[in-house]
Structure 1
């Protein structure tokens, strides 16, 4: 609510009237600007992170002035001009430069002006900010597609890629036939772009070797193309992980045709040129197993064991020329389970490093489950073995800088399930969605370990080469099975942190809902935190605009570099709609998935 009464602000506006009139074209002497009627019919419509204001034309007006009183999450603020040069009787106000929760209480007014002055303001309106939440669906929405299991944003927030590893088209490459559903679990990636204040789908991407996979026993097998994504800063280089891809080839651009090693995994590199996307490289590990190892089980049937899962973690440097790929199931001869492969782009892509957990001094089961680069690619974070290893590269090779565990870490916490680095590599966020303590808030006592899979997040900072824990973060409504930190994202400066709790049970919608309500099990939520100096505070509690039980909102999160655009995936959302801002009320496509923009 507005903390200060309106009369005080009106008084301030009256004192500032000469300045406002001057901005509209001069004083009132001999003018009729001050006599222009206030515009009637002032109303607002909505699109993804934008308002569409309209009003009736005022006779004699040559332009209009729109002002905003932005009171929101940060408290009382001064009214300010949005635009004083509007010549039509409508205006699109883009909110790309601000998080939606910052405009919860914002009000807007418009007035008419002519060459000599401006008239009275219209009555203020307060838009329903929840209606400006972006709602994105695939162009070929289908049941079980899992659209939103992964999401990434370019630095400026104008390009967004979304993975749907369950999508079933047999198409290959860019913008193929979306209607074919004969390759169950092949996977797809959708690229959306913002032009001005409007969003549209730019590309539909498939693997170059899409196919319906069956293992040697004839059981269907999913490649999971799109399960993991990484995007360069300019949004023009995209790495797509397919951790269950089946070829046994090795290296870059090898033979894609065989299916001898389900679960070996692959990464595909796509590049954009003049708005068109094409595949640039097909990446495999340098030690792909020649054949898969199977095991038979009475209950589970035949399944692959010791799958390397190359592509289960992917990261790109800001310029998109350095790629890190995690293979948490890799079982090479070096110490420990899992590996990370680093590739560098010169005239072509080449593998330049093979990193094993033994180099850290820790036997890291699952090493490579999550990876993150600093912007320049000289700091690399790798999770595994309930720890996170930090590597640095001084130009002569990779060496371990530090191995981190949380202040409240236990074996089943899944510490390192997700990791995120700031652009300078000096702030690290780590998810532990299996953490069980009952505490709430930031740097509070953890409390008893009585809430299975409640989850926690940790923030570490580097000073003089030494890392230390800065914050131990719990949800403001900690509860069992919420899996707080299932997903995490950091802004470039490390001062904004988004934490997804994909199993949180609140039934509210939009922003600033009731956190105590637990009527929608598995609906999911996202919590936004900001740092000032060394102090973190929670800034918002964010829900889907169409919250539903088991939607898994918070399956993935992404932030623009400035932290002003937040994308949230809900891999199990059920609407059958397609495209941007479609019908959210339809629930006939189970687990099709959606992405929301704030």
Structure 2
């Protein structure tokens, strides 16, 4: 299971302070799940690899999205610009740059402690500006990649290796499914929404668990407030950017749509579907611009119709019974206020959900275990993450996570990921110059490298969460945005740095990284391993 998300185009007040030039317009965060085996007993994290694209280029934004499953890592590069329309199995990639921001995804595998590239994935209908790789997900031998600006008007699924060459519906969006046989990857399906329309950005977010895929379409415009089970979707366009999510299932090698998910309180500009996650029969969908002032959880199929707290945000939990999906809960932050974008990132593992809120404004530097959260708003854009737990059919908040070096504009929560009792949280705006990992519950108070970025690891022991590590790149630099995307599987964490600027085009296995800065926003990914 994995998830990823994209930055909304509609920005809350103050967001300009967090955005960095050359960001590429997207967000990160990929999570993955593994069976919970109880609280981790080892505490030492170290860097295992520094991963670069073999065709590293300026503004490729490699590391924009990522997901990990077992010994396989997939990394999206939304700004990659080759015109290639085939998959390359192996360690190479096209150096063509004639299709700006067509996008790409790269597959890496681990053998022992050594990482190498296994494939370079491209869409068969790759075109300039498609943003293939804005979101990625992986489960076993299946990968799903979103291309939110793909522009065909097709409204059906194509099972197989082809895709529409039509470009009459700008930014309609698409998702592509790839499968591995041995060491060879091929395309299995091309997914489109049945109500595909220009500007819907289907593929903003994607997630996969086994034979189930969920795709977010944050700018879908119907005013429907119920779930449609089956292969249809509303053609209504009266609620611009209300958003939707679509569920697809695989039977054999064929994919079909199983459901069309809408929020019970769908409203224009909510951006429902900006983030999605799936684990088994449970899906969570983020709506970071939902605007109710409710500060409690609603278990059941309803949601608040209040709109007094613009961009407070919400997350919605859906459950499958047989082939039927229904809303199980409506999650809100315990300190919900306007413009914090709760639900910008979501992740799920088993009975636990984590929700990121990168503009939350409290200056708290400790974790609150329980159902409360700070009402302080003195550090706008500091960010927070919230952990929710299901008991039976009831969801409750278990913890409110804050980093030990919390600071305004850190963007903590831009990416979240969970695997069992381990949570990873990215803070792309964190600004310390530290170039080493801190194992434990402390973090640097330095602020000399603006938006160098950081990652944080939290672990659960019974019902109590604590900070286990503070992750930094060995080559931090201003505007690297390390932490823009995060992914976790067991004892492995991957962190993306979309603004990293080295020209290196090879993988470094071990603890090093290039200090070269000749390719602005080429991007990089870093793999960390927890010791035994």
Match of 2:304 in 1: none
Give the alignment's TM-score, normalised by structure 1: 0.70
Matched, 1:531 2:489: no
Aligned residue for 2:339, secondary structure, equals helix
Q: Deviations over 1:253-296 (max 9, x none)?
A: 2861111111110000011111011111111100112xx4xxxx
Matches within 5 A, 1:343-492: 343-347=248-252, 348-358=254-264, 365-374=270-279, 376=280, 378-384=281-287, 385=290, 386-422=313-349, 424=350, 426-443=351-368, 446=374, 448-491=376-419
TM-superposed CA distance for 1:146, in Å, is 0.3
Mapped partners of 1:101, 1:185: distance in 2: 41
Tell me which stretches of 4 or more aligned residues in structure 1 moved more than 4 Å: 98-101, 360-364
Q: Which runs of 5 or more residues in structure 1 are unaligned?
A: 1-97, 105-128, 213-221, 293-306
Mapped partners of 1:583, 1:524: distance in 2: 15
Aligned-pair RMSD on alpha carbons? 2.1
Mapped partners of 2:324, 2:79: distance in 1: 38
TM-superposed CA distance for 1:472, in Å, is 0.9
Match of 1:173 in 2: 86
Matched, 1:267 2:193: no
Mapped partners of 1:504, 1:352: distance in 2: 40
The structure that has the greater radius of gyration is 1
Relative contact order (C-alpha < 8 Å, sep 6+): which is higher?
2
Mapped partners of 1:589, 1:239: distance in 2: 28
Matches within 5 A, 1:91-102: 102=43
Counterpart selection for 1:239 from 144, 152, 155: 144
Matched, 1:331 2:221: yes
Match of 2:309 in 1: none
Matches within 5 A, 1:573-588: 573-581=500-508, 584-588=514-518
Moved more, 246-255 or 470-479: 246-255
Match of 1:595 in 2: 525
Aligned residue for 1:149, secondary structure, equals strand
Flag the 1:101–1:594 CA change in 2: closer, same or farther, 3 A. Answer: farther
Mapped partners of 2:263, 2:451: distance in 1: 34
Note if contact 2:43-2:468 (Cα within 8 Å) is conserved in structure 1: no
Aligned residue for 1:148, secondary structure, equals strand
Counterpart selection for 1:183 from 91, 94, 99: 99
More helix per residue? 1
Match of 1:78 in 2: none
Give the alignment's TM-score, normalised by structure 2: 0.79
Note if contact 1:173-1:278 (Cα within 8 Å) is conserved in structure 2: no
Q: Deviations over 1:466-486 (max 9, x none)?
A: 111111111111111100011
TM-superposed CA distance for 1:133, in Å, is 3.9
Aligned residue for 1:538, secondary structure, equals strand
Mapped partners of 1:249, 1:382: distance in 2: 25
Aligned residue for 2:336, secondary structure, equals coil
**Count of residues paired in the alignment:** 435
